[in-house]
Structure 1
Amino acid sequence: MSSTQFDIRSKGDRTRDAIRAAADECFREFGFDATGAEIARRAGVVEGTVFLHYRNKVGLLAAVTRDFYDLLQVEADAALAVPAEPVEKFRRLVDGWALRMETDWDLIAVFVQRAQIAPDSEIADVVRECSRRYTRLYVSAIDELKAARLVAPEMPSALIRDVIFGSLEHTARGRIAAGKPVRTRAVAAQVIDLLLAGAAPPAERDDRFAAIEAKLDEVLAKVTP
């Protein structure tokens, strides 16, 4: 912020923002074992102030989770607002989530795990609410693919969405278990290619396979003596 700009937030808002930013750092670094004392230290407040603004650590994680999804929603809306063919819009949308998995997996894993451990908790409610809002964009984008006859209309949009999210989560967890960094963007692109090839209407699917075969024949003709 430049010297000519003023922070119009109230002192309470500034304090809450600082606490959430510190909590975001700590949850990424320590998981749900992050302490109120460490969060307070990084926020520049006393520990009592943290829990004056947020009832408990679950409530604080819920607030951080909302911030994460709010940013994700803004990014997705911006990606979809750029004019493009349905396939390109869909690729942008999925790539945005795959990129967030690569950069924010440490945080995603914390709130997903807490929601699974305590399905009736505040954090579980927030994850469900925010996830539904975000994934509606996927259903709408898939419906556009159907309207463009790029995906068979009888294929449930929610199923296609779940295949994408499930594949990327499986990939992320597998890489973490193997001691490797999360890399999901290339997998996201491959999953979309498979879905578009396998879920297209039969006639168009046959055309695509025929085109692939023709290209293969062309390549073989060049290398065959």
Structure 2
Amino acid sequence: MSATQIEKRSQSQRREATRQAILEACKAIMSEEDFANSKTSTIAKRAGVAEGTVFLHFENKQGLLRALIDEVFATIHTNIEMIQQAHSCPKRRLRAMAEDYIQQLEAQWPLARLVVGNHARYGDEQTQQALHRHNRRYTQLFVDAFEDISQEEIDGHIPSPVFRDALFGAIEHFAIANFNTGKAHDSAQFLEQLWQLLFRGVLSREHSTNNQSSDLDHIDQKLDRLLNKLDA
């Protein structure tokens, strides 16, 4: 390797290090305040660079937002690929993907809320397109698993968009309502309840006619207890 090549490589490494420092500074600030209220001057100061350097790497604040969104989805996509390799059963694969998604939202909520919040959804055209592209890619993986299950286990037809909106709508609503709010919450319990709501009696052969009868008896018992309390 020539001296010129070494110098170019060194410059590239320094640029990447600066870029990462800016991203890390932005993520740190986002844990303290909302992205909309954050200032590039504050981000630059936290990163130890001039404010102009932020614009040199990201063009503008929306460019910085797109880089953060790319980072969130990169982790999600990587994890999904590993889950796909680990689970040949579509039902187990879908459950593992849903578990990972909610875990990722909780683990990096200050960053992940950009994905489920309004800053990206109503950002500039480039940001909206980037978010749409990412969303289509990863939600399609969930839909593919759902359709694999449908072919094996569903007697009737449930539209994939209905399943998609129910799954992601519930998870993202739970995340916004609970993560980083100080509220006590149980993500695992929520996911189990969501799973039962979406799949029990719809996608599970475990819900046979006998189970239906048993469930109706159980509901009747609950209603009887409720009526007894009201009469007391």
TM-score higher than 0.5 here? Answer: yes
Q: CA–CA distance in 1 between the matches of 2:97 and 2:40?
A: 35
Picking from 113, 124, 128, the partner of 2:132 is 128
2:108 counterpart SS class: helix
1:188 counterpart SS class: helix
**CA deviation profile, 1:22-43 (whole Å, cap 9, x unmatched):** 2222233222212212222232
Picking from 182, 187, 201, the partner of 1:184 is 187
Picking from 34, 37, 43, the partner of 1:39 is 43
> Where has structure 1 moved over 6 Å in runs of 4 or more?
none
Structure 1 match to 2:55: 51
Structure 2 match to 1:221: none
Structure 2 match to 1:79: 83
Instruction: Give TM-score, length-normalised by structure 2.
Output: 0.76
Structure 2 match to 1:175: 178
| Equivalence map 1:81-120=2 (5 Å) | 81-111=85-115, 112-118=117-123, 120=124
Root mean square deviation of aligned Cα = 3.0
User: Do the aligned partners of residues 193 and 27 (structure 1) sit closer, same or farther apart at CA in structure 2, a change above 3 Å counting?
Assistant: same
Instruction: Name the amino acid aligned to 1:42.
Output: R
Instruction: Name the amino acid aligned to 1:18.
Output: A
CA contact (8 A) 2:65 2:120 kept: no
Shift of 1:68: 0.9
Shift of 1:152: 4.3
Structure 1 match to 2:224: none
CA contact (8 A) 1:26 1:39 kept: yes
CA contact (8 A) 2:25 2:43 kept: yes
CA contact (8 A) 1:155 1:199 kept: no
Structure 2 match to 1:138: 142
Instruction: Give TM-score, length-normalised by structure 1.
Output: 0.78
Q: CA–CA distance in 2 between the matches of 1:27 and 1:113?
A: 15
Structure 1 match to 2:165: 162
Q: CA–CA distance in 2 between the matches of 1:46 and 1:181?
A: 41
Shift of 1:106: 2.4
User: Do the aligned partners of residues 143 and 208 (structure 1) sit closer, same or farther apart at CA in structure 2, a change above 3 Å counting?
Assistant: farther
Q: CA–CA distance in 1 between the matches of 2:120 and 2:22?
A: 21
Identity within the alignment, %: 27
CA contact (8 A) 2:27 2:110 kept: no
**CA deviation profile, 1:124-181 (whole Å, cap 9, x unmatched):** 22211111111111011101211331x4451112211210111112223333697516
1:180 counterpart SS class: coil
User: Do the aligned partners of residues 68 and 77 (structure 1) sit closer, same or farther apart at CA in structure 2, a change above 3 Å counting?
Assistant: same
Structure 2 match to 1:24: 27
CA contact (8 A) 2:41 2:51 kept: yes
Q: What stretches of structure 2 of length at least 5 have no aligned partner?
A: 1-8, 219-232
**CA deviation profile, 1:21-69 (whole Å, cap 9, x unmatched):** 2222223322221221222223221111111111111110111111110
User: Do the aligned partners of residues 42 and 97 (structure 1) sit closer, same or farther apart at CA in structure 2, a change above 3 Å counting?
Assistant: same
Instruction: Name the amino acid aligned to 2:208.
Output: D
Aligned length: 207
Shift of 1:206: 3.2
